[in-house]
Structure 1
Amino acid sequence: MYTIKTLNSISAAGLGRLSANLFRVDNDCEEPQGILVRSAKMHDMPLPGSLLAIARAGAGVNNIPLDKCSEQGIVVFNTPGANSNAVAELAVGGLVLASRNLAPALAWAAGLKGQGDAVGALVEKGKSQFVGPELRGKTLGVIGLGAIGVKVANAAVHLGMDVYGYDPYISVEAAWNLSRSVVHCVNLNDIITKCDYITLHLPLNAQTRGFLNGNTLASCKQGVRVLNFARGELVDNAAMLSALEQGKVATYVTDFPCEELLGVPGVVALPHLGASTPESEDNCAVMAAEEIADYLLNGNITNSVNLPNVSQPRAAGRRICVIHKNEPGLISAITAVTTQAGLNIENMVNKSKKEMAYTMLDATGPIGRDLEQQMAAIPAVVRVRIL
């Protein structure tokens, strides 16, 4: 029986994937084997020695101490693509918001309350101040062609836009799903300089922080409209405010409000609604629960952010799972222990991800009580599990 602790409210659809015969959800447990989390901050949270896996019901993992988890042999999962439809739909709505000046128009119309029979005439007189262009025939640059970016690009094609996409790390699956009408750019400057609209769908890391800054915005078309439904820190807010003031940027639609952006003409700030749909919450919870269950029960790793993805069907015997540093000689050392123990390896797989690696093997033969200790004694081995 494995104990799972939740740090946020997790959809019942996800918790329902944890068999009651194999898992127990106990939010007061101090030594769980698994944690399901959404937005709770874990950087200052002590990680018990019992903890084997953390599954984030969402894509971003900035709230999880990845380095610390790797050092302790804790696998961290996320749920890429589970909320992609929700975010993509909102981004398409953001295109309309950016074009048709809907946010200020709504606020202006609400201000007509109390004008009685004069409202109709006031509407006809004042509506010209909110005129905005149609999307059809305009150019859209999609920066980041993951699950969300591909859906936004494809939807924009159906809206009649000319779509350019940029992603030097596009996956094979994403490439297959991308409309053939999307122009795949290999040079970022092609998007920055050509497009009437730019939408960001990038992960946040050291390389992408401040991705849109004074230099990149200066290269944009005059009156460009920018959408950010990925991460607020992708945009240098000071540079964006300057570009709005100069007219370089006509509208900035962001899902990440902050003090300096609120109330600024040209800024449409939404309260982080990207994944706020019941369908998205269910999808993320289900994927997170299935990932953590498969790892705890079978040792399989799918959608990990700190360890390689490794999955194989169970063969005969017992399964030995070894998390270790990606260093030469580790495979030989692991197999030497199994040989010395008189075990026969039926199936084996090893993969690495940067400085970390994972070896999983199915072995037949007598497994003594000290085998796990012998494996763990190998230099650079971080954690051993025998299932």
Structure 2
Amino acid sequence: MSTITVDQVKTIKTLNNIAKSGLNVFNQDHYTIDNNSETPDAIMLRSFNMHSLEFDQNLKAIARAGAGVNNIPVERCTEQGIVVFNTPGANANAVKELVLTCLMASSRHLFDGITWTKALDGEGDQIPKLVEAGKKQFVGKEIKGKTLGVIGLGAIGARVANDALELDMDVIGFDPFISVDTAWNLSRNVQRAMTIEQLFANSDYITVHVPLTDNTRGMFNTETFAIMKDGVNIFNFSRGELVNEDDMGEALESGKVGKYVTDFPNAKVIKMKNVVPIPHLGASTEESEENCAIMAARQLKDFLETGNIKNSVNFPNAFLEYAGKTRVAAFHKNVPNMVGQITSAISNYNLNIADMVNRSRGEYAYTMIDIEDQVNGEVIPALEEKIGQISGIVNVRIIK
């Protein structure tokens, strides 16, 4: 178990290049950036694969400057009481812009046309004549008046849906887990699909913005393609594994799928007919990288200094206004009487509780307790050890 105080210098380790604007969030008087540290308080990263790394017991949090956390051993972190943060929405505008760019460009066969035109190199003065003669093979369609199906109406999907409406498209959305915040931001002109099959059947273009789960893996397959319109264009800027690639290859070859635009190319996909392989550029903008870095850093800083959690993928969000009092922050199993045992341990030292919050998520929970009284410095490690001995406690620290 470890004790942390506000004036204690904390070490941040980065595993990828993190935008300077994000690292600047950490005050140099209280933080040090040390990428060689074996005992950091927190780690920031982007796409670095952490699955083979061992974690020191001093590690309190990991922040992914991005949305996906497949490169982080989340389950192992949870078992060790390490909070894993991500930055949902920080790169949403970047992805949205690329989706809409590809929507229009693929509908007009722009990518194919550019590739064909560049192949005319060497034809000299004949190029203008060849262009005029060959352009008819790239006649495309306007998106105005067509129907876009948006699967997943989170930070990215909602933005895509709203902006597609501004381009005079009809928009159908499907998201059985839509949040209240997203619902407020979504245009009322987005039609709600009651089932995903309804969306498949009525869309000229389909874009998917959902996480990879057991339920979504391979959701684009022969069975679902059969429901769709002939020549539908599909856009995947979420995860490659959402698509059954063998089935997609057959659908492209037959013309059932007109274009497949994916941000996740591989050896199999790039050989397919009518694939537009994007080299994972969804969030690759200067603005997006800065937004993600700043958001990740702020979440880490707040957690290290106050214990508050926002945008964790493995522990519940929890907020308790920090007034400078001694604070107990404990991760524990979500079982009966845990809070009672923690408060009893505190009362054994004749300390009064000023405020507290308890939040649970699945098998685990998180409790923060502010102590009203001034706590003698000698009591802190003893209290921490006492709480740490409670069966079911995963990790405890005292913030003072």
The residue identity in structure 2 corresponding to 1:13 is: S
Question: Does the CA-based 8 Å contact 2:233-2:260 persist in structure 1?
Answer: yes
- TM-superposed CA distance for 1:215, in Å, is 1.1
Instruction: List per-residue Cα deviations over 1:11-39 (Å, max 9, x = no partner).
Output: 00000000101110000111101000101
Residue 291 (structure 1) aligns with: 299
- Tell me which of 85, 107, 111 is aligned to 1:77: 85
The residue identity in structure 2 corresponding to 1:186 is: M
- TM-superposed CA distance for 1:58, in Å, is 0.3
- TM-superposed CA distance for 1:176, in Å, is 0.7
Q: Establish whether residue 62 from structure 1 lines up as the match of residue 70 from structure 2.
A: yes
Q: Distance in 2 between matches of 1:326 and 1:97?
A: 50
Task: Please tell me the root mean square deviation across aligned C-alpha atoms, in Å.
Answer: 1.0
Residue 390 (structure 2) aligns with: 378
Instruction: List per-residue Cα deviations over 1:139-166 (Å, max 9, x = no partner).
Output: 0000000100001001110111100001
Residue 20 (structure 1) aligns with: 28
- TM-superposed CA distance for 1:318, in Å, is 0.4
Residue 265 (structure 1) aligns with: 273
Consecutive unaligned residues in structure 1, runs of 5 or more: none
- Tell me which of 255, 268, 285 is aligned to 1:277: 285
Q: Distance in 2 between matches of 1:267 and 1:73?
A: 43
Q: Distance in 1 between matches of 2:324 and 2:61?
A: 25
Instruction: List per-residue Cα deviations over 1:155-181 (Å, max 9, x = no partner).
Output: 110111100001111111111111111
- Tell me which of 111, 114, 138 is aligned to 1:106: 114
Tell me whether 205-214 or 286-295 shows the greater mean CA deviation.
205-214
- TM-superposed CA distance for 1:316, in Å, is 5.7
- TM-superposed CA distance for 1:354, in Å, is 1.2
The residue identity in structure 2 corresponding to 1:381 is: I
Instruction: List per-residue Cα deviations over 1:236-260 (Å, max 9, x = no partner).
Output: 1111101111111000000110111
- TM-superposed CA distance for 1:345, in Å, is 1.0
Residue 144 (structure 1) aligns with: 152
Question: Does the CA-based 8 Å contact 2:40-2:59 persist in structure 1?
Answer: yes
The residue identity in structure 2 corresponding to 1:295 is: F
- Tell me which of 211, 215, 222 is aligned to 1:207: 215
Question: Does the CA-based 8 Å contact 2:249-2:273 persist in structure 1?
Answer: no
Q: Distance in 1 between matches of 2:106 and 2:117?
A: 18
Residue 263 (structure 2) aligns with: 255
Residue 196 (structure 1) aligns with: 204
- TM-superposed CA distance for 1:98, in Å, is 2.2
Q: Percent identity?
A: 51
- TM-superposed CA distance for 1:263, in Å, is 3.5
- TM-superposed CA distance for 1:265, in Å, is 2.2
Paired residue secondary structure (1:219):
coil
Question: Does the CA-based 8 Å contact 2:93-2:159 persist in structure 1?
Answer: yes
Map residues 302-381 of structure 1 onto 2, 5 A cutoff: 302-315=310-323, 317-365=325-373, 366=375, 368=379, 369-381=381-393
The residue identity in structure 2 corresponding to 1:44 is: S
Question: Does the CA-based 8 Å contact 1:144-1:166 persist in structure 2?
Answer: yes
Instruction: List per-residue Cα deviations over 1:71-101 (Å, max 9, x = no partner).
Output: 1110000000000000000000110122111
Consecutive unaligned residues in structure 2, runs of 5 or more: 1-8
Q: Establish whether residue 48 from structure 1 lines up as the match of residue 56 from structure 2.
A: yes
Q: Establish whether residue 176 from structure 1 lines up as the match of residue 184 from structure 2.
A: yes
Paired residue secondary structure (2:217):
coil
Paired residue secondary structure (1:262):
helix
The residue identity in structure 2 corresponding to 1:292 is: L
Structure 1 runs of 4+ with >3 Å offset = none
The residue identity in structure 1 corresponding to 2:396 is: V
- TM-superposed CA distance for 1:364, in Å, is 2.2
Paired residue secondary structure (1:382):
strand
Question: Does the CA-based 8 Å contact 2:148-2:171 persist in structure 1?
Answer: yes
Paired residue secondary structure (2:358):
strand
Question: Does the CA-based 8 Å contact 1:315-1:346 persist in structure 2?
Answer: no
Question: Does the CA-based 8 Å contact 2:45-2:63 persist in structure 1?
Answer: yes
Q: Establish whether residue 119 from structure 1 lines up as the match of residue 131 from structure 2.
A: no
- TM-superposed CA distance for 1:186, in Å, is 2.2
- TM-superposed CA distance for 1:340, in Å, is 1.8
Residue 225 (structure 1) aligns with: 233
Q: Distance in 1 between matches of 2:337 and 2:194?
A: 39
The residue identity in structure 2 corresponding to 1:48 is: D
Q: Distance in 2 between matches of 1:216 and 1:372?
A: 55
The residue identity in structure 1 corresponding to 2:33 is: V
Question: Does the CA-based 8 Å contact 1:143-1:200 persist in structure 2?
Answer: yes
Q: Distance in 1 between matches of 2:78 and 2:17?
A: 25
**TM-score of the superposed pair, with normalisation by structure 2:** 0.95
Q: Distance in 1 between matches of 2:90 and 2:325?
A: 34
Residue 30 (structure 1) aligns with: 38
Q: Distance in 1 between matches of 2:76 and 2:150?
A: 34
- Tell me which of 2, 7, 11 is aligned to 1:3: 11
Question: Does the CA-based 8 Å contact 1:315-1:347 persist in structure 2?
Answer: no
Residue 251 (structure 2) aligns with: 243
